[in-house]
C-alpha cells in the first residue's frame, strides 16, 4: 500500500497535491498496490484526489500546521492502512515533515525525488544534488520508505473519479505550536508552483521601473521573481528572491531580464524547462544557461516582447 499525504495550504488542495497523488499512484501501480490519500485539517473537496488515482481519501481533523502533530497522524495512517511507502510533496510542509515521518516509521527517506522508483533490484530514486549541478541515485533498503516529490516534475494526470472521504478513526495529538497568522500573496500563483516566471535583476535599475516587468508578467499570466540584490535593497518583496539563498523553482518558462546569471542565482533556476535571457551584455554568464538569448536594452526589448505576446494571444 502507498499512502500519499496531500498538503492543503489554507484548506485548498492545489497542483502540488495532485502531483504527489499522481506520483504515488504510479508508484502503487509499479508495486501492484493501492494508493490511499491522506488530508489533514479542514479541506475543501478532498474527494477530488480520487481523480488522480487515490482509491480512497482519509481526512483527519487537526489545527494549524505543526510538523510533530502532522507526522504523528501520517505515521498512524500508514500503520492503519498497512502502507510501507509514504509519498508527499517537497513543499514547505513536506520539508518540515519528511524526516519526522521517516523517524516515526523507522523508514529510509529521500527528499526532492525527480524519478519514479526503479524497483528492478531494490528501490532507487533520483534526486538533484549540489543545487542542480549533479543527479544522485539513492537506494532505500529498509522495508518502510518515505519520499518527497520535486514540484513541476510529474504533471497531474486524471485517471479516475472523485472518491469518498473517510475519517479513518485517527485522532491528532495535542499541538505545541500556535499558528498566529498566515499571509500569502493573493491573485497570483506562488513561485514554487508557477509554470511561467518573469524575473528581473539589478539591470532594471530602479524600483519605479518595474512596471514593464509586471506588464509582461500580467499578459503572460506569469509570476514575478527577482535576483537577490534586488530583494536585499527592498525593491521587491523577499518572497520573490530566487536562487541558492532564495526560492528554488523549476517553471516551464523562466524569462531573466537584466540578471547577470551568477552561479548562486542559477542554482535556483537552472531546472527551468526553457530559459529566455534578456541582457545588454553579450558576455553575461546567463547566456550559457539560456535556451533563447536576446542581446539588447531591456527597456526596449521588454515592451516589444509584451506587444508580441499581446498580438499572439490576440
Partner 1 sequence: MKLLVCVSKTPDTTTKIAFTGDNTALDTQGVQYIMNPYDEWYALVRALELKEAAGGTVTIINVGAASNDTVIRKGLAIGADDAIRVDAEGGSAYFVAKQIAEQAKAGGYDMVFFGKETIDYNGSQIGSMVAEMLDMPFVSYATKMDVSGNTATISRDIEGGQEVVELSTPFALSAAKGLAEQRIPNMRGIMMAKRKPLNVVPAVAVDEKVSIVSYALPPAKSDCRYIDAESMDELVELLHSEAKVI
Ligand X SMILES: Cc1cc2nc3c(=O)[nH]c(=O)nc-3n(C[C@H](O)[C@H](O)[C@H](O)COP(=O)(O)OP(=O)(O)OC[C@H]3O[C@@H](n4cnc5c(N)ncnc54)[C@H](O)[C@@H]3O)c2cc1C
Residues 184-243 that bind ligand X (CB under 6 A): 201-203, 227-230, 243
Among 1, 55, 63, 99, binds partner 1 (CB under 8 A): 99
Among 146, 117, 106, 140, residue whose Cα is nearest residue 5:
146
Cell numbers 531580464: residue: 257
Among 265, 287, 289, 290, binds ligand X (CB under 6 A): 265
- Least separation in angstroms between CB 114 and partner 1: 11
Residue-wise DSSP of 234-303: TSS-GGGBBSSSSB----SEEEEES----HHHHHHHTT-SEEEEEES-TT-GGGGG-SEEEES-HHHHHH
* CB-based contact 31:61 (threshold 8 Å): no
**Residues 142-161, interacting with partner 1 (CB under 8 A):** 142
The yes or no reply on residue 166 touching partner 1 (CB under 8 A) is no
**Exposure string over 110-132, b if 16+ CB within 10 A, otherwise e:** bbbbbbebeeeeebbbbbbeebb
Nearer to ligand X, 201 or 293 (CB): 201
**Residues 203-222, interacting with partner 1 (CB under 8 A):** 220
Residue 258 contact among ligand X, partner 1, none, beta carbon within 5 to 8 Å by kind = ligand X
Residue 30 contact among ligand X, partner 1, none, beta carbon within 5 to 8 Å by kind = none
**Residues 35-94, interacting with ligand X (CB under 6 A):** none
Among 108, 202, 209, 210, binds partner 1 (CB under 8 A): 108
The yes or no reply on residue 127 touching ligand X (CB under 6 A) is no
Return d(Cα 2, Cα 78) in angstroms, integer. Answer: 8
Among 259, 289, 290, 305, binds ligand X (CB under 6 A): 259
* CB-based contact 55:65 (threshold 8 Å): no
The yes or no reply on residue 251 touching ligand X (CB under 6 A) is no
Stretch that binds partner 1, among 35-43, 44-52, 160-168, 234-242 (CB under 8 A): 234-242
Site string for partner 1, 37-76 (x = CB under 8 A): ---------------------------xxxxx--x-----
Amino acid at each position: 500500500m502507498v499512502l500519499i499525504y496531500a498538503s492543503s495550504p489554507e484548506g485548498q488542495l492545489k497542483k502540488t497535491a495532485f502531483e504527489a497523488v499522481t506520483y504515488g499512484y504510479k508508484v502503487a501501480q509499479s508495486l501492484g498496490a493501492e494508493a490511499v490519500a491522506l488530508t489533514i485539517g479542514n479541506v475543501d473537496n478532498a474527494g477530488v484526489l480520487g481523480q488522480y488515482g487515490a482509491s480512497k481519501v482519509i481526512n483527519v481533523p487537526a489545527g494549524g500546521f505543526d510538523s510533530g502533530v502532522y507526522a504523528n497522524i501520517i505515521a498512524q495512517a500508514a500503520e492503519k492502512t498497512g502502507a510501507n511507502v509514504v509519498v508527499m510533496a517537497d513543499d514547505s510542509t513536506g520539508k518540515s515533515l519528511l524526516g519526522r515521518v521517516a523517524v516515526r516509521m523507522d523508514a529510509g527517506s529521500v527528499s526532492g525525488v525527480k524519478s519514479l522508483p526503479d524497483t528492478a533490484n531494490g528501490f532507487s530514486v533520483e534526486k538533484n544534488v549540489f543545487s542542480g549541478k549533479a543527479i544522485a541515485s539513492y537506494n532505500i533498503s529498509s522495508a518502510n520508505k518515505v519520499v518527497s516529490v520535486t514540484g513541476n516534475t510529474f504533471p497531474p494526470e486524471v485517471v479516475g473519479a472523485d472518491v469518498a472521504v473517510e475519517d479513518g478513526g485517527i485522532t491528532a495529538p495535542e499541538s505545541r505550536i500556535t499558528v498566529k497568522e498566515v499571509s500569502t500573496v493573493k491573485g497570483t500563483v506562488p513561485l514554487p508552483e508557477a509554470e511561467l516566471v518573469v524575473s528581473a535583476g539589478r539591470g532594471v535599475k530602479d524600483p519605479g521601473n518595474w512596471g514593464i516587468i509586471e506588464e509582461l508578467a500580467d499578459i503572460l499570466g506569469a509570476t514575478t521573481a527577482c535576483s537577490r540584490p534586488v530583494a536585499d535593497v527592498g525593491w521587491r518583496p523577499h518572497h520573490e528572491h530566487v536562487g541558492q539563498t532564495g526560492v528554488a523553482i523549476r517553471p516551464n518558462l523562466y524569462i531573466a531580464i537584466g540578471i547577470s546569471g551568477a552561479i548562486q542565482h542559477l542554482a535556483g533556476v537552472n531546472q527551468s524547462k526553457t530559459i529566455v535571457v534578456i541582457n545588454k551584455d553579450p558576455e553575461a554568464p546567463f547566456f550559457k544557461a539560456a535556451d533563447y538569448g536576446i542581446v539588447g536594452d531591456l527597456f526596449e526589448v521588454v515592451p516589444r516582447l509584451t506587444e508580441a505576446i499581446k498580438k499572439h494571444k490576440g
